[in-house]
Each structure stands twice: as structure tokens, then as C-alpha cells.
Amino acid sequence: MKAPAHEGQVIVYGASGHAKVVADTLRACGLEIEGFVEDNPKRRDSPDLKILGDGEWLVARAKRSPVAVALGVGDNLSRRTIAVRCVTAGAQLLTAVHPSATIAPSAKIAPGVAIMANAVVNADAVIGVGAIINTAAIVEHDCHVGNFAHLSPKVAIGGHVEVGELSWLGIGCSVIPGIKIGAGSIVGAGATVVHDVDEMIVVVGTPARVLRKIQEQI
């Protein structure tokens, strides 16, 4: 996988474990990372990462010179907020695709996406802005993964599945073909989804059943 096209220095926004994986993905593509941006003061003391500053620092930096930002935050709502901040400041959202991932030529990958090692995105799939296709996840043909959604490691979704914006599919869950997952919903780890899932609910189990309604606004 060749390095993604970008202008200016490459910065990872976030300093959590997910940010480390995003950084490793970029390095595997041959990119050099200038450093990390982190809003949480408790994470800015990391001895392992070069922390450049917080979001305000990045905004000021983007006004001075071109910068490409990879989204290294796992929380969907926070990732969306950060993406808006970066774009408003004039920074480029960088897409990170690990060289071991398999991406069909007809698949469409939006800016700010992270596709991790051994993931598969098959024919005519669409991956929305800022979405995460995590380690060894499988997105089958003709699927649509919404903006800022997250498919955790080893998730498998069958053909023609629609995953709503800001939804989160837990580790190892499976979704049969043709299913729709509503915006902002959560599918529990290891669940098997055989019926459509409404917006803003949590489903768990095999077959997946409703656990509770999500009260937070998206």
C-alpha cells in the first residue's frame, strides 16, 4: 500500500492505545509522523509519544502551514468533533490504510478513515468519513458504513448491510446480509444480528436482542 497523498507534516490526533495503532498503520505505509495532539492533560505526560500540544495548538499550527491529521480517537462522538475542528482549521483529514488490508478497487473510502491490519473491504462497499474498520474486520460487498462508525476487531458484516452514522459494532460480532443498523446504536461483542436494529439502542446476544435505549443525543 503506497503512502496516502497529503500535504505538510503528519500528526495523529489522540494519544490513547487506538492512536498508537493508527500511528503504526501510517508508519507501515512509509509515513513519518511529526507527533501527537492530545486534549486530555493526563495523557500529555506519555513518555512513549511525542506530544506536540492540544487541539488549540493544532488549530494555530494549521493556520501557519499545511498539516495532515490522522484521527486517533476511538470514541465516535469525540472523533466527529475533532474532525470538524480539524477541517474548520484547514487541516487535511488523512486516511490510514494498513498495507495488509484488502481493499477492492471499486470500494469508496472517505477522508479520515482508519482501516487496520488484515481488514477486508470488498466490492462496491462505501466507508464514510472518519469511520474505523478495525483489525481483521470484514466489510462485504455493497455495504455502507456511515460517517464516524466503528467496526471493532473481527467484526463481519454480510453483503448489502447498512451501518448507521456513529454506530459501534463490538468485537467479533456478525451481521447477516441485508441488515440495517440504525445511527448511534451499539452491537455488543460477539452478538449475531439477524434483524434490523433501530437508531440509538444497544443490542446483545445471539440472536441479538434489545438491551436498552441510548439516551444521549447524537
CATH of the domain at 204: 2.160.10.10
Identify any residues that bridge with 210 across adjacent strands, giving them in sequence order. 203
The Cα 146–Cα 119 span in angstroms is 17
Q: Are residues 115 and 172 in the same domain?
A: yes
Q: How far is residue 210's CA from residue 88's CA, in Å, rounded to a whole number?
A: 38
Cis peptide before 99 (omega within 30 of 0): no
Pair (112, 152) in one structural domain: yes
Q: Are residues 64 and 136 both part of a single domain?
A: no
pLDDT at residue number 1? 46
Buried b (16+ CB within 10 A) or exposed e, 113-147: bbbbbebbbbebbbbbbbbbbbbbbbbbbbbbbbb
Under 8 Å between Cβ of 123 and 107: yes
| Domain stops at, among 71, 96, 121 | 96
Q: Specify the pTM.
A: 0.94
> Among 7-16, 18-27, 82-91, 136-145, where is mean pLDDT lowest?
7-16
- CATH number, domain containing residue 49: 3.40.50.20
Say if residue 189 is in the same domain as residue 116: yes
- Are 116 and 31 contained in the same domain? no
* Range with lowest mean pLDDT among 13-17, 73-77, 145-149, 213-217: 213-217
Catalytic amino acids?
Answer: 141
With bands split at pLDDT 50, 70 and 90, how would you rate the model's confidence at 7?
A: low
Q: Are strands 209-213 and 201-204 parallel, antiparallel or unpaired?
A: antiparallel
Domain range spanning residue 156? Answer: 100-210
If we measure between CA atoms, which residue out of 59, 74, 215 comes closest to residue 149? Answer: 74
Q: Tell me, what's the pLDDT at 43?
A: 75
78 with 111, same domain: the answer is: no
| Residue 215, pLDDT score | 84
217 assigned to some structural domain: no
pLDDT value of position 183: 97
Last residue of a domain, one of 61, 96, 131: 96
Q: Does residue 18 lie within any of the structural domains?
A: yes
Cβ atoms of 132 and 83 within 8 Å: the answer is: no
Has residue 169 been placed in a domain? Answer: yes
pLDDT surpasses 50 at 87: yes
Flag whether 46 is in a domain: yes
Residues 41-56 have pLDDT tens digits of 777 667 778 999 999 9
Q: Which of 50, 78, 96 is the last residue of a domain?
A: 96
**Pair 59, 104 in one domain:** no
Task: Give the C-alpha separation, 6 to 58, whole Å.
Answer: 16
Query: Nearest 10 degrees: CA dihedral of 59, 57, 6, 71?
Result: -90
